[in-house]
Structure 1
Amino acid sequence: MMMKRIFELDYMRGIAMLFVVVGHILEFGLNADRYPHAFMGIVQMPLFFIVSGYLAYRNKEQGGMDTLHRFLIRSRILLVPLVVWSVILNVCKGEITCSQAMICRGGYWFFLALWWCDLFNTCINYFSKRYRLHLFMDVVLYMILYVVILLLRIKGVNLGGLLPIQNVQYYFLIYALGILMHKYTMIHKWVLNKYTYAIGLITILVAWYLLRMQSFPIYFLGGVGGVIVFWMICKEIPFEKKWAKALSIVGKNTLPIYAIHYLFITTLPQCLHDAVNVPMGFFLQFVIAFTYAVVVVILCLIIDRIISVNPITRMVFFGESKKREW
């Protein structure tokens, strides 16, 4: 049974994707000061992970084989672009080596971290359904697993780079929150209401102000606050607006945009660096970065449409058997 499309989730992913592209252009292309645009960095990945967690839960799964089948498909969709686009990026940069970095390029850590979150959730989901666990025990299972993740982080276990444990440590709780919000209406109401909206606004501003402390609790609370604020905002977006439909298209196609955009972010903006390198020039840098980000997103969508026309190339580059909807 197909889950009814929730447009606010598309808007959230679309905003997160724009934040990622703009942030990467500012950081890698324009060499802008990281602190002014750190606001985007606080919320962009938490938005991705909570939406991914929310969509990972299915009400109508019958048993372990269904769960395993979904996980294998999900693994293909995440790991194929991880490998293929890592190789393409390295070839474009002329950095061809036989090391593991050729496959697990730092820029594509998101695919691998999300795959580990899916793997952990598949295991928990199996036990939860088998033993018919409810809210309290589900929370206990997720917390036990998170303790294991923290222990792996303390021990520095990363399986030779195949387990981006630091990133999993940051985002697994937010991913799990998305699952629990979908599974339990009570959690959804606790997280999204007018009171948490106000608290979220304060939290994200405080976290942004204190970001130079580089504290994980501050970063985590800021991310949760950002998720609440942007989710509440996206719930009010009218779908009939043309700009909302465009944002929805971006949200539905975050996978190819994330994979392809690295090929564009270190070329043209770098040529403009001297022109915008002026005192207090962040606003000018941001305008240029946002304008170029829109161009990059459009180019990524065009390339994706060309690749996705043929089912073979669609499978080779993105591991997808079905064509994504616009």
Structure 2
Amino acid sequence: TATQSVSDETLQLLADEMNYNVQIVSPEEEDRELLESFDIEFGEDEGGEEDLVVRPPVVTVMGHVDHGKTRLLDAIRKTNVIAGEAGGITQHIGAYQVATEVNDEERKITFIDTPGHEAFTAMRARGAKSTDIAILVVAANDGVMPQTVEALNHAKAADVPIVVAVNKIDVEGADPTKVRGQLTEYGLVAEEYGGDTMFVDISAKQGLHIDSLLEAVILTADASLDLRANPNQDAQGISIESRLDRGRGAVATVLVQRGTLRVGDTMVVGDAYGRVRAMLDDNGNNVAEAGPSTPVQVLGLTNVPGAGDNFLVVEEDRTARQIAEKRAARERNAAFAKRTR
């Protein structure tokens, strides 16, 4: 019937029978076409080389369950929480920024603190290049486990450099050398063995060598990546997580990738849109603007966007609404097509 949904293969067969040429486009390509119809370039820095400035690396921590990912993220935060802030971190926004000193120069690093691979995979599946570097946490007493390999493969598929944190070196039976040996089989060769992967022995529990790990991240970023973005354009980036808050409505944590996001900007995030009413940083303080690689929590959206949805700032509220509505309609049609099969 005219309203029936068919699979891609059936569609191709029917088209051949009727001498039509069918092109099947991915949602990403469709989205790009939609934005181009509004004259918006997504994913490109405007201007030339001289407009680009260095931005902090964005890091995801991955590894086997129980190997200390969460403990490590806490330890990194603790070394960085401004002394005297009672009660430490005030809220969890899914990402935060820390500062570390490398060669007497203060450098920032942004950590995406989402529950492990799921979010990373969701973002990667949607073509969102959210992470610049992956920290692979391996426990020195357990060595390489199935999920370690899984995390490693995710990072390799996403083509991001890996820094290995060998955790729990204070535990009985810890053997950091064994970990280095095991990971050699998976193509991660430690620098001391003539490879180019940095391994750092740490103890998240005792807070040992956390600074060395942060330094390794910066050095790896400097050595193998060119992390620059143009801060002087309309902001673009991705949403990391979002939720419905009773008092404040839809709250989304976004990571600015290029441009600068300001309070009062009109933004589209996936099929949500709205004017930025307020922005909060990872300590719960109000901020007026956020530059490249900065994570902020945004208030003022119409509904809750998904993790990995891209966001962009547009000139007019009307444009924002049209883009959001077209995206929502597309999602609806896709869901409907799935349901009627």
- TM-score, with length taken from structure 2: 0.29
Larger proportion of helix: 1
- Structure with the higher strand share, 1 or 2: 2
Query: Greater Rg, structure 1 or structure 2?
Result: 2
Structure of higher RCO (CA pairs closer than 8 Å, 6+ residues apart) = 1
Structure-1-length-normalised TM-score = 0.30
